[in-house]
Structure 1
Amino acid sequence: MPIHRAFALPAMLLTLISAAGSTSAESINAGERKESQDRPFLVQDIASFNTPWALTFLPDSRLLVTEKPGHLFLVSQDGHKTEVSGIPEVAAKGQNGLLDVAVSPDFSKSNQVFFTYVAPDNKGGSLVLARATLLLQADKPHLNDITVLWRQTPSGGGGQPGGIIAFDPAGQHLFLTVGDRMQPDSAQDPDQARGKVLRLRLDGTTPPDNPQASEGGVRAQTWTTGHRNPYGLAFAPDGKLWLNEMGPRGGDEFNLIEPGVNYGWPVVSNGDNYNGTPIPRHVTRPEFRAPLVYWTPVIAPAGLAFYSGDLFPQWQGSAFVGGLKVRSLVRISFDKAGQPDEADRWDMSARIRDVAIARDGALWLIEDGNPGSLMRLVPKR
């Protein structure tokens, strides 16, 4: 996986972690924290895009940047943009369109990339996971041999597609977030691929050691359930998998993801429905896993990256999250017991859609907008 999404532990070890559990950990509301104008970094504007959605790095330090309307760009670190042809038609409406892009663990040999998008149909579209070979020929990069590995069934729904990709350390498994597509009850339906984190082989088939592998269908692919709108998924340096997701009116979440766990949406939430009707809180239903950090009021989290690098040594192991609603970059730190908490929130005066860490330790951000900036953050001198 690209640098901004670290790697998982083997499934057996993750299962042991799950058995140890984290249900006794504190659930912290960081929603009332305030943005700081005192930023410990300089912001360099590199390029601009039409509603960019995701960014990642190739091994040669060039970037791939998706645009939600259905465009993919190869970008040099000095901002030179070249469009990559071959993207299939996408349902670019509202929250849907071209979503995540991720470099295969064996890219140096295969030149393969994975990407997600909402494919058009007459029911509102289906989230699709695809794989392709990236041909880097002179000034005409192209996606070749596109293969659909997974398609959401049944199709249809509204926004909230999810679509974030992460890989395991052996390069054998892929994790995919799937939102509830604005059909909340589907997140608790074990036979619908909505409101789930899925675990697949790189060819899209089901690993035999998934929690419900013997059940077949969506159940066999499911790693966790009970999610609403998950737009961040990454592994920490210690191998634990973390996810952020948008809540309704309140209740954005930062969750430790462990196999077989149900996180409760829409039965419980730390927010309420948009029409004002209350939703029972996590504390009322202990069979569902509560978030370790939540935000009420919301920050609308998007993107997630764990820091490793030399430019900001004080941030080693911190998680970085984009804040769409609060137009900020959020840093999450972890205490010695592994409890996360929001440590910093810097005003960026822009809706931050995704975060990535370059090999030199610089932070890269994209802004949700048209135009939306590609930014590089470096230390103040």
Structure 2
Amino acid sequence: MTRLLAVSTALFLFAAPGVRAHEIDPGIADVQVTETEITMSIQLSLESILAEMDLAAITDTTQSPVEQIYAELRATDPATLRAELEGFWPRMQRRIIIEVNGDRILPELVGASIPEVGNFDLARSSTLNLRADLPEGDDPVRVGWAALYGDLVVRQVGGGEDAYTAFLSDGDLTAPLPRLEIRTESAWAVFARYIIVGFEHIVPLGIDHILFVLGLFFFSLHLKPILFQVSSFTVAHTITLALASLGLVSIPTSIVEPLIAASIVYVGVENIRGHVNVMARTGLVFVFGLLHGLGFASVLGDFGITASHFVAALLGFNVGVEFGQLAVIFSALVLILVAVRFAMIAPLRVEEQPVRDTQVMYRAVSVVGSILISLIGAWWTIERIFL
């Protein structure tokens, strides 16, 4: 019955309308530096900028207190929105950071491409074209934008497949970009950088993936079931991460995200039921891993990875994800062992003393934890379909 319910839920989700229309995407800046000037072409959600949303604090425009202002701007025609931009530009100009030798340079707005209103339920991606004169000399340039504007992908153009790319958050700036040549990165540098990106996508950013991994851990304290599940999950998400990153598989996030939430519900419910066949569970975890790999790919795609660095970035990201998953499992295990240790020295009544046994404590934590995981996953499933 549980498996039938899962299949029915999946079919329902595939038929559901788009649910991630208001998701916050990072800005994408293509940067070209010459001896005398810098030019930038930035793709962004102009409406969220004009509404002064704090994009670093939210993942969805509906979470912002200025959502209504955003909605009104989203319904605004391009000419009117361009006029709004002209009036707002002096404020925005100070939040676009171009820095040479520690000195800030204000960019000039030379053009803006704003699409028609179109489908109001989908985000509108506008493009701003900026330029700035650089001071004399050959000091390198660093760029970025204010933390208020959220994440920013920077790509240095004109350098072929080895050109520099960066994913900036919290108001960070790029590495120094030279004027007379293109900054390049070795495969090892890309590999190391993407290990960090992959780890951060699990801890602390990937709360849905954290809950899923905890669901795997709460299935059994024995090494064999945990190893089977984690290995199955790893192989599966590696497959779809690679295929989706290569553009061979493409499934809308409006389908992937609700299914990821539903997978969290499923593993939690199975944990509560108990006495589930390990191999059957491992097979389902493999299927769920395919879904989570598609979720990882949507994040990796934001970076605009060059072809020459694709393998290094993919491997590094995957290694980082594995480190993140192991960190989650290890932390949960340590907390249970610490709880048992405290129970051993606590003055407990006779009926309370069973919690001094690691298996009893683990089962208590796993049941409570699985209930919470299932409830959170159920709410996310509803939210990602209807809200």
TM (norm. structure 1) is 0.25
Higher Rg of the two aligned structures: 2
TM (norm. structure 2) is 0.25
Q: Which has the higher helix share?
A: 2
Q: Which has the higher strand share?
A: 1
